[in-house]
Amino acid sequence: LLLSAVSKYKGFIREHDSTTVFSQVASSSLIGAEYILEFVAKHHTKMAN
């Protein structure tokens, strides 16, 4: 689901809502914060494009 937030293709999350999604997951719990860090480490090149 988070990958659709950074994808330029139509997905489940609208592009302008992606920062809200990441923020909510990261602030939800320690597990959410760790998940976001791992996700960004794995997909940072896709996010930069």
How confident is the model at residue 6, as a pLDDT? Answer: 65
φ, ψ for residue 4, nearest 5 deg: -70, -20
pLDDT (mean) for 4-21: 73
Say what the pTM is.
0.67
Q: What per-residue confidence (pLDDT) applies to 19? A: 86
Which is more confident, 10 or 20?
Answer: 20
Give the pLDDT score at 35.
92
User: For residue 3, what are its two tokens?
Assistant: 């990958």
Identify the burial level of 3 via C-beta atoms within 10 angstroms of its C-beta, where 0-12 means exposed, 13-18 middle and 19 or more buried.
middle
Question: Within the chain, how many helices (H) and strands (E) appear?
Answer: 3, 0
The predicted-structure confidence for 25-46, as pLDDT tens digits, reads as follows 999 999 999 999 998 899 888 7
Among candidate residues 36, 4, 42, the one with its CA nearest the CA of residue 23: 36
Specify the pLDDT at position 7.
63
